[in-house]
Each structure stands twice: as C-alpha cells, then as structure tokens.
Amino acid sequence: MTADTAEQLRAELESVFTNAEYPVEEPMELVPALPDGPGTTFEAGDVRVGVMDFGAEYADYQEYPYETAEALIDDLMTGFREEGLFD
C-alpha cells in the first residue's frame, strides 16, 4: 500500500462523514450521511471497504460516541492499518 492509497481513502471518508450530525452516539446515526446507505463502499487504489465492514471487521477500533468526524475517521484508519487492509 502506498501512502497515497491511505490518503485517498481518508479523503473519501472525510467527504462523507463530515456531513453527519455530531455528536454520534452509535453507528446507525451515520446512515443518513452515506451516499448509498448501508450499501456504501469506499475505494482508493486497490482497496475497497464497505461501510457494513466497519461494524463487522473494525468495530473493536471504534469508541462511540464521537464528537467529530476526525475522531471517527482516525479510529477507522487505525483499524484498517491494524487489520492489514493496506498490505
């Protein structure tokens, strides 16, 4: 994985999650901000991650409630790296 891929993915996450209303108490509160609802997929380079995977594969890295999009995205990116998404 290149740093560009991670940066592109982060930019996609920011473009969506900055539109959510914060604070967010639980993941379902983010659904209205998702362009394709629960079917939303984020892509960068060869990396694809569906929003449904956030709860299935990366839930251990998320600590709700979130006060800002940046805090949520930081935790998601940590989870992606830790679980080898960019390997």
pLDDT at 86: 84
Whether the predicted pLDDT of 87 surpasses 80: no
Listed in sequence order, the DSSP H helices in 1-87 are 3-17, 51-56, 69-82
Domain range for residue 32? Answer: 3-82
**Taking the model in full, what pTM does it have?**
0.93
Is residue 53 a part of any domain in this protein?
yes
pLDDT at 2: 65
| Rounded-to-integer distance, Cα 26 and Cα 9, Å | 22
Q: Which residue has the higher pLDDT, 3 or 49?
A: 49
Is residue 75 a part of any domain in this protein?
yes
Is residue 51 a part of any domain in this protein?
yes
Whether the predicted pLDDT of 1 surpasses 90: no
Is residue 31 a part of any domain in this protein?
yes
**What would the mean pLDDT of 11-26 be, rounded to a whole number?**
96
Is residue 87 a part of any domain in this protein?
no
Domain count for the chain = 1
**What would the mean pLDDT of 47-64 be, rounded to a whole number?**
95
